[in-house]
């Protein structure tokens, strides 16, 4: 009996010691501070996109009570804007802020997590990402690159772009050199134009000097900030190529997994909050910028229906073609298209019908 009591007592002591040790370890981990870097594809503090990255960094820092301190580097401060993916993947920075369609060279599937021509708008995209298979497939795609993706902003439906000549028919697209990345660029090329991928900071000079004939960027809020209205006189809508472009926060997987659970949640929640905040910012500021552009006597024109119909036809063909390239792209394509088809009837009967009568 004495021996049994002794062993029981010893077991309890060991359990208590282990518990206290674990608690101390947890407390020590809770006090650990992480100095993180965020690289972006945008000029430092550029309205909307650049400030969105800054807001995300501040929110992560504040929500973590300073346990994760994030310093933001704009495009070209640490790496060029189109090298953000590789830099974060290799651990050069813990966080990246960019657009997934820039990485189509890694996989055609990346583009579906940014924006698809004639595809889902921002509200539908968020529904697919958060309540469909979107984020799960995005994580699956980025896993082999040692990255974890999170939606971290949206600009809403964009404008169709700035042109130095009128677009009256599909023939006017032939030979047109236009800065337009992602799937939209592939559609333009198939229509007879030439798509060019340029970082935002290079657009104005290229358009002004005639290196390109046209460009899309975002919308009035950002286009005014770059002064694009001083380089071209025709401003077209709608943004058929980017109806609901998601901005991404990519996180180095090793660094993310090294965090305690509560700090992982801080990053996830901060990204979700900024995703909403950026869309609200663009909705408010685009209108103000549009009024300014109208006062500058810019020609704001709608693409002819003939042009939009042809571009949509080409887009559908391209999407089917790239879906056959590999298993993951096909899986993402099927999920995206299926969700779009399921959500469209509600969008038509709710938002679209209301906007038509408003």
Which pLDDT belongs to residue 232?
96
Which tens digit of pLDDT belongs to each residue from 265-298?
999 999 999 999 999 999 999 999 999 999 998 9
Confidence tier at 183 by pLDDT (50, 70, 90): very high
pLDDT at 4 over 90: no
Q: Which residue has the tokens 């960027």?
A: 217
Name the least confident of 6-15, 201-210, 226-235, 242-251.
6-15
Q: What is the mean pLDDT of residues 236-248?
A: 97
pLDDT bracket for residue 197 (50, 70, 90)? confident
Q: Taking 60 as the threshold, does the pLDDT of residue 58 lie above it? A: yes
Going by pLDDT thresholds of 50, 70 and 90, the confidence category of residue 311 is very high
- What pLDDT band is residue 14 in, cutting at 50, 70 and 90? very low
Please state, in angstroms and rounded to a whole number, the distance separating the CA atoms of residues 181 and 178: 9
The neighbouring-strand residues paired with 12 are: none
Classified by CATH at the fold level, domain 33-154+244-283 comes out as D-Maltodextrin-Binding Protein; domain 2 (3.40.190)
Assess contact for 37 and 56: CB atoms under 8 A.
no
Q: Tell me, what's the pLDDT at 201?
A: 85
Beta-carbon contacts of 51 under 8 Å, excluding residues fewer than 6 positions away, are 45, 281
Q: What is the pLDDT of residue 325?
A: 87
Widest pairwise Cα distance in the chain: 98
Q: List the chain domain ranges.
A: 33-154+244-283
Look at residue 167 in the predicted model and tell me its pLDDT. 98
Per-residue model confidence as pLDDT tens digits over 117-175: 999 999 999 999 999 999 999 999 999 999 999 999 999 999 999 999 999 999 999 99
Q: Is the pLDDT of residue 6 over 60?
A: no
Mean per-residue pLDDT, 4-10: 47
Separation of alpha carbons 350 and 209, rounded Å:
45
More confident residue, 16 or 288: 288
pLDDT tens for 35-47 read 999 999 999 999 9
pLDDT higher than threshold 70 for residue 3? no
Mean pLDDT of the chain: 92
Residue 239 pLDDT exceeds 50: yes
Answer whether 40's CB lies under 8 Å from 78's CB: no
| pLDDT score recorded for residue 5 | 52
């Amino acid at each position: 009996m004495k021996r049994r009591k002794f062993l029981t007592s010893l077991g309890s002591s060991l359990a208590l010691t282990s518990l206290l040790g674990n608690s101390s370890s947890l407390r020590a981990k809770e006090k650990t501070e992480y100095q993180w870097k965020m690289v972006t594809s945008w000029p430092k503090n550029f309205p909307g996109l650049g400030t969105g990255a800054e807001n995300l960094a501040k929110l992560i820092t504040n929500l973590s009570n300073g346990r994760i301190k994030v310093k933001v580097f704009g495009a070209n401060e640490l790496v060029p804007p189109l090298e953000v993916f590789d830099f974060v993947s290799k651990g050069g920075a813990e966080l990246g802020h960019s657009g997934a369609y820039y990485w189509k060279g890694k996989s055609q599937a990346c583009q579906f997590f940014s924006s698809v021509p004639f595809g889902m708008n921002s509200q539908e995209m968020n529904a697919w990402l958060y309540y469909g298979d979107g984020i799960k497939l995005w994580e699956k795609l980025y896993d082999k690159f040692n990255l974890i993706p999170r939606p971290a902003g949206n600009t809403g439906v964009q404008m169709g772009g700035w042109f130095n000549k009128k677009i009256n028919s599909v023939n006017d697209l032939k030979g047109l050199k236009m800065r337009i990345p992602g799937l939209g660029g592939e559609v333009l090329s198939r229509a007879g134009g030439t798509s060019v991928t340029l970082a935002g900071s290079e657009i104005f000079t290229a358009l002004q000097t005639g290196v390109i004939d046209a460009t899309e960027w975002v919308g009035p809020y950002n286009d005014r900030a770059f002064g694009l209205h001083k380089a071209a006189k025709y401003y077209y809508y709608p943004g058929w190529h980017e109806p609901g472009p998601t901005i991404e926060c990519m996180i180095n997987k090793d660094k993310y997994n090294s965090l305690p659970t509560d700090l992982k949640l801080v990053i996830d929640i901060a990204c979700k909050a900024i995703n909403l905040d950026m869309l609200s910012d663009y909705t408010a500021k685009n209108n103000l910028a549009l009024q300014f552009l109208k006062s500058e006597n810019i020609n704001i024109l709608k693409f002819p229906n003939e042009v939009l119909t042809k571009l949509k036809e080409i887009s559908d063909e391209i999407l089917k073609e790239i879906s056959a390239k590999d298993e993951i792209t096909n899986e993402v394509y099927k999920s995206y298209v299926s969700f779009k088809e399921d959500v469209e009837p509600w969008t038509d009967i709710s938002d679209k019908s209301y906007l038509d009568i408003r």
